[in-house]
Structure 1
Amino acid sequence: MDTRLLGRSGLRVPVLSFGAGTFGGTGPLFGAWGTTDVEEARRLVDICLEAGVTLFDTADVYSNGASEDVLGAALKGRRDNVLISTKTGLPMGDGPNDAGSSRFRLIRAVEQALRRLGTDYIDLLQLHAFDAATPMEEVLSALDALVRDGKVRYVGISNFSGWQIMKALAVADRYGWPRYVAHQVYYSLIGRDYEWDLMPLGDDQGLGALVWSPLGWGRLTGKIRRGLPLPEGSRLHDTARYGPPVEDEHLFRVVDALENVAAETGKTVPQVALNWLTTRPTVSSVIIGARNEEQLRQNLGAVGWTLTAEQIATLDAASAVTAPYPHFPYRRQEGFARLDPPIAG
């Protein structure tokens, strides 16, 4: 498994990482993702480690802490061989301090996550959402204290807008506090909004993308075909409604292109969709999930081979949409190139 630097840090992460949202699943959303118990989780972790997938991502809000519980049990005895990423900030209860990124909440959330995960440090802690009610100085000073105490190694964010990230980085630089090095983002062939603002920001400021839902909320699993109904019993009936809407014609155009490239490469539709993401600038790791061993092994087959330039161009063209203001395509035309220097990667 290839590794990449996580943003502008010295931490190397595998190009594929494992998302533990299926672990201990309960409720309408997480229960639909999966209900993996500890025994099953250990087997999936075994397969990941055999393949070189050493980064495991979770969050306190996943099944109200059950995902962290199951992941911690599955990793018992091999903590030194893995990297653990978790997130906090979304509501964990109805109390006035059960959500957000206040110093009170962050310190308590980390202590609780450490207990559930059965570890004394978190490799990457990410804020799961922007907290507009808490001053950034309070948020970042609390993260600094957690890093200095050895409870957190690196910090990042998830689902932040560009201005929120830049303001936070400015505050961090002003006081010499840890900078965010990762941004966990939604990005897929049917959801390329990340490219308009957040990708160039990540390139400029050194934030590596950790991609969640790389198969577009299950729409790019190969189970959706033009003119055919969803398979009976598919979890897409439950989970797709939680994700951003996608027009049918756009989805089918992308799926058609994926099927053509899959036929050329001898790979599956989801393997091609995942591989395309690994070619994108600023992407440090693509988070894959699996409810069982078969799904995991299929997703692991997304790496170890290369799409041709022509195949990438086919996928790019099929998935392209008109960018909103102020990202009009004319800025990419000849004469405007100096306004948009190329993104590294």
Structure 2
Amino acid sequence: MRYQLLGRSGLRVSELCLGTMTFGTDWGWGANKQESFKIFETYAAAGGNFIDTANRYTEGSSEKFVGEFIENDRDHWVLATKFTLKDRNDDLNFAGNHRKNMMRSVLASLKRLNTEYIDLLWVHLWDNTTPTEEVMRGLDDLVTRGLVNYIGISDTPAWIVSQANTIADFRGWNAFAAIQFEYSLLQRTPERDLIPMARALDLAVTPWGTIGGGALTGKYLREESGRVPEDSPRRNEHSSKIAQTVVEVANELGVTPAQVAVNWSRQRQQVMIPIIGASKATQLQDSLGCLTFRIPDELLLKLNEASKIELGFPHEFLKSDGVKEEAFGGMFEKLDNHRL
């Protein structure tokens, strides 16, 4: 395992992050405590130091398991958790991004994790209610109090993230160092705005869903059952064609489809730290095999072509030859480096 800086911070994190949404069986699936520890040990043995959980994962079991697993060497681990999602039914203030829920949720997470601080606190998703200034000031207070070291944001529109970091920079508050969202060969829409924004603002990207809920392993091509329902976009004709291409590339390289899918996300032109999860240690061991190879350029192109999307307006409009010629009169032909 190699290490990277987490975006605009100096924090060193491993090139793969261990996702622990599967730690606990409270949701009717996942790994029991014994198997969860095997998964943790497998990741640790590979040199990983970056663990991702959340207040609602398996109704708190995930945080409790993680807290126990890392307690003997707490300072070694980069521990990330999240707030936003409700953890009490029928109580409006037990969910959302506002200060009251933020402070309450973090204190509850610290108790479940049995730790005095969180290395990276994620805003789990945007609630479209709380003012951006309130969120950023609350997060800054948590850092100032020493309860949190760094902050990140997940599943939020690019314009809001840009607004938030601009406000933080202007006010001298702590800004987001990383962003998390779904990104895979089956879900490339973040390339429209989220990924360019992350590059421009020097945010590390920790994509989730890199194997498409298992669809990119090729198992649904074999009509196997799984957590992804048959009417899901991950199991339609287009997705099946992408999965088939992944399988073909994997066969050519002598690796597994899951390893190809993870490496495709890693081989972007910016910091990408995929979150990999598993319900069995053997599944995680398979994913870790992605560290042993790189996808050659010609096969990357094959994957890109099979999964390409239209960027939509204004991206397609701005890069069209007609617009560039009519608006700029061929000026880009005389420039070595330009963005259009």
TM-score by length of 2: 0.91
Q: Tell me how far apart the structure 1 counterparts of residues 339 and 40 of structure 2 sit (CA, whole Å).
A: 38
Matching of residues 327-338 of structure 1 within 5 Å = 327-328=315-316, 331=319
Asked if 2 retains the 8 angstrom alpha-carbon contact of 1:155 and 1:182, the reply is yes
Displacement, 1:246?
4.3
CA contact (8 A) 1:155 1:181 kept: yes
130-139 vs 304-313, greater mean Cα deviation:
130-139
CA contact (8 A) 1:55 1:84 kept: yes
- Quick one: which of 212, 215, 227 aligns to 1:216? 212
Aligned to 1:231: 224
Aligned residues: 329
Give the root-mean-square deviation of aligned CA atoms.
2.1
1:330 shift after superposition = 5.9
Aligned residue number for residue 125 of structure 2: 129
Distance in 1 separating the partners of 2:291 and 2:309: 26
Alignment of 1:141 with 2:137, yes or no, is yes
Counterpart CA distance in 2 for 1:157 and 1:25 is 26
Q: Give the aligned residue type for 2:293.
A: W
Equivalence for 1:96? 92
Go from structure 1 to structure 2 and tell me whether the alpha carbon gap of 1:78 and 1:259 turns closer, same or farther (over 3 Å shift). Answer: same
Aligned partner of residue 46 in structure 1, secondary structure: helix
Structure 1 segments, 4+ long, off by >3 Å, are 332-338, 340-343
Q: Which runs of 5+ in 1 are unaligned?
A: none
The answer (yes or no) to whether the contact 1:69–1:117 under 8 Å persists in 2 is yes
Indicate the residue corresponding to 2:23 in structure 1: 23
**Contact 1:19–1:56 under 8 Å retained in 2:** yes
Q: Deviations over 1:103-125 (max 9, x none)?
A: 11111111111111111111100
Q: Which residue is 2:152 aligned to?
A: 156
| 1:318 to 2:334 alignment | no
Task: Identify the residue that residue 36 of structure 2 maps to in structure 1.
Answer: 41
Tell me which amino acid in the other structure corresponds to 2:124: H
The two structures have a TM-score, normalised by structure 1, of 0.89
Distance 1:246 1:309 in 2: 25
More helix by share: 2
Q: Which residue of 1 is the match for residue 53 of structure 2? A: 58
Choose which of 149, 156, 162 in structure 2 pairs with 1:166.
162
1:118 is aligned to 114
Residue 217 (structure 1) shift = 2.1
Aligned-residue offset at 1:336: 8.8
C-alpha distance after superposition, 1:242-262 (max 9, x if no partner): xxx247232122122212211
Which aligned pairs between 1:301-312 and structure 2 lie closer than 5 A?
Answer: 301-312=289-300
- What is the CA–CA distance in structure 2 between the aligned matches of 1:147 and 1:174, rounded to whole Å? 17
Contiguous gaps of at least 5 residues in structure 2: 325-329
Matched, 1:77 2:72: yes
| Partner Cα separation in structure 1 for residue 245 and residue 215 of structure 2 | 14
Percent identity for Structure 1 against Structure 2: 37
CA distance in 2, matches of 1:55, 1:6: 11
Residue 153 of structure 1 aligns to a residue whose secondary structure is strand
Letter in 2 for 1:290: A
